[in-house]
Amino acid sequence: MTASARLLIVGPQGSGKGTQGVRVAETFGIPVVSTGDIFRANIKQGTDLGKKVTAILDAGDLVPDELTSEIVRDRLAQDDASNGFLLDGYPRNTAQVAQLDAFLEERGESLDAVILLDVPREESLERLRLRAIEQGRSDDTDEAIAHRLDIYEHETSPIIEIYQERGIVDRIDGVGSLDEITERISTALNARGVGQQLV
């Protein structure tokens, strides 16, 4: 029987969740479902969705729940996600948690673990400033960065409480080298028994 892992990685922008998500997903042989990547691909291709998202991001706002949930449901229904997935950037608020719960329940599934990368706000701000310079990302102005971190703190933090009540949150220190942080995540998932399914 093929091992499965249904994971969510959460953390403020600049926490490194994109990089760590890819590493964890490769370990389990599951796809990373990143709303940010999906949106950026559409922006690059100049699709209707891409144009909508560009206008929203340039204003420093986040994409509406309905649009995000529809895209995620479509992605999770694809064959390569049948044995698991790692969600990055979704759900980001309690409404999306409910939408994800309903979708997974229909499939007789649930999340195995939530990886929470803990990074101080100043560290996130500094990392995002560097990323904006290195990658030339127009959505990473100081004002937009601060706005998105505020939204994260107000909207996303409550979802952690929901998952903590379910006992599936692993809080990981997100400051350190990439390898150190990856090792902390692996240790936490192994302790939960998620990683042992692959042995």
Each residue's pLDDT, cut to its tens digit, for the chain (199 residues) gives 346 799 999 998 889 888 999 999 998 899 999 988 888 888 899 988 888 888 888 888 878 888 888 888 888 988 999 889 999 989 988 999 999 999 999 999 999 999 999 999 888 888 888 888 888 777 678 888 888 888 888 888 899 999 999 999 999 999 999 999 999 999 999 898 885 544 3
Q: Which of 23, 121, 131, 171 is catalytic?
A: 131
b/e string for 145-168 if b means 16 or more Cβ within 10 A? beebbebbeebbeebeebbeeeeb
Return all residues near 50 (Cβ < 8 A) that are at least 6 apart: 39, 41, 42, 43, 44
Q: Is 107 tagged catalytic?
A: no
90: which 2 tokens? 């979704």
Q: Which of 40, 121, 129, 137 is catalytic?
A: 137
Q: Are 161 and 115 in contact (CB under 8 A)?
A: no
Q: Is 23 tagged catalytic?
A: no
Q: Is 73 tagged catalytic?
A: no
Q: Which of 6, 75, 92, 127 is catalytic?
A: 92
Distances (CA, A) of 109 to 41, 150, 159, 161: 28, 32, 18, 20
Q: Which of 6, 75, 127, 148 is catalytic?
A: 148
How many beta carbons lie within 10 A of that of residue 46, not counting itself? Answer: 10
* CATH entry 3.40.50.300 includes domain 5-194: yes
pLDDT given at position 198: 42
Q: Are 24 and 86 in contact (CB under 8 A)?
A: yes
Q: Is 184 tagged catalytic?
A: no
pLDDT given at position 113: 97
Q: Is 137 tagged catalytic?
A: yes
